[in-house]
Amino acid sequence: MKKIALSLIALAGMALVSGPSIARDRLTGQERLARMLEGRVAGKPQSCVNTRVYSDSQIIDGTALVYGHGKTIWVNIPANPEDLRRHDILLVRQFGPELCRQDIVTLLDNASGIFKGSISLGDFVPYTRVK
């Protein structure tokens, strides 16, 4: 009987731990982006961003690409953002240190490496944390 009670307690604990991650996975791309931008203020859109400085990138499902971390992040909403999936591989043909508006990014399936399509980048909007 003790083993059953301990097992139930352990299962309940695991449910509590995994609960928030399940809810996080159910957020839409727009909701995820909104959470990332909480406490940040949008700056003037730029046509290019230096990827040596902002090399971290994140795909927000069906919504945007986010570059950088920390105080300032750069959000890019490409043409046909609905094609973006969190686990896609981005193949960027970059000529120099900058990634710019209208650059073409090829999307590959993460599991198979098969070509999924291409997107054309939009403006890069900086979002800076406010104190």
pTM here?
Answer: 0.76
Distance CA 115, CA 125 (A): 28
Distance CA 112, CA 53 (A): 30
Contact 103, 23 (CB under 8 A): no
Distance CA 81, CA 104 (A): 13
Contact 96, 52 (CB under 8 A): no
Check pLDDT > 70 for residue 16.
Answer: no
Q: What pLDDT, on a 0 to 100 scale, did the predictor assign at position 9?
A: 47
State the pLDDT confidence band at 54, using cuts at 50, 70 and 90.
low
State the pLDDT confidence band at 69, using cuts at 50, 70 and 90.
confident
